[in-house]
């Protein structure tokens, strides 16, 4: 088993600090201490707090993209499963994601450049959904509904019980299937 890179160790520590204190209150000193590296070692990898925050956001986006790619592969890699895989991965309640993403989005509100990895993610996703087998407008409605639910849950402002959430998830999957079938 390979040892995690110093960047990964620092990013893990930064996520831990953000979950406890929020991105606004995260300091490079606290991250270096939690990671067990010198501040110089941290600065070598991430010269500024902003570069560390942007790397944390890019890492979260990468995790989401990897989860979606895995879901697509399990479904056979057919381009028509893209939207269904997106719904499934957008609605996953992965451990710690809520506690990490909410403060990172708040940091992005203060510094919109930090959200560049998210913008790139959506640019690529929108390009993928322009597949001839998919009704693009309907796909965008499903995607936006999935993202809206994810955001409201992440911010803990949308009180659905487990049964309601499961029904909504199933409905979004059914709409995904209908969207694909409309263009076949």
Q: What angle do CA 157, 163, 164 make, to 5 degrees?
A: 50
Kindly report, residue by residue over 81-130, the tens digit of the pLDDT: 888 888 888 887 665 666 778 788 888 888 899 899 999 999 998 998 88
The pLDDT tens digits along the chain (184 residues) read 566 688 999 999 999 998 888 888 889 999 999 999 999 999 999 999 999 999 999 998 888 888 888 888 887 766 668 888 888 888 876 656 667 787 888 888 888 998 999 999 999 989 988 888 888 999 999 999 999 998 888 888 888 898 999 999 999 999 988 887 555 4
Give the CATH H-level superfamily of domain 1-47: Homeodomain-like (1.10.10.60)
Which residue intervals of the chain are DSSP H helices?
6-21, 28-35, 39-45, 49-74, 82-90, 97-110, 116-128, 136-154, 162-183
Query: Measuring CA to CA, how many Å separate 71 from each of 18, 89, 102, 159?
Result: 28, 8, 24, 27
Domain boundaries along the sequence of the chain: 1-47, 57-183
Q: What is the pTM (predicted TM-score) of this model?
A: 0.81
């Amino acid at each position: 088993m390979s040892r995690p890179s110093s960047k990964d160790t620092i990013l893990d520590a930064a996520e831990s600090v953000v979950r406890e204190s929020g991105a606004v209150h995260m300091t490079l000193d606290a991250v270096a201490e939690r990671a067990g590296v010198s501040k110089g070692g941290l600065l070598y990898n991430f010269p500024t707090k902003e570069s560390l925050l942007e790397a944390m956001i890019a890492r979260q986006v990468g995790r989401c993209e990897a989860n979606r790619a895995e879901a697509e592969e399990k479904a056979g890699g057919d381009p028509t499963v893209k939207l269904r895989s997106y719904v499934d991965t957008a609605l996953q309640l992965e451990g710690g994601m809520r506690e990490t993403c909410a403060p990172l989005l708040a940091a992005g509100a203060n510094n919109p450049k930090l959200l560049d990895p998210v913008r790139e993610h959506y640019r690529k996703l929108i390009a993928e959904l322009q597949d001839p087998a998919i009704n693009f407008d309907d796909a965008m409605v499903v995607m936006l509904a999935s993202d809206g639910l994810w955001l409201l849950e992440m911010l803990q402002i949308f009180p659905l019980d487990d049964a309601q959430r499961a029904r909504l998830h199933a409905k979004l999957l059914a709409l995904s299937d209908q969207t694909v079938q409309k263009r076949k």
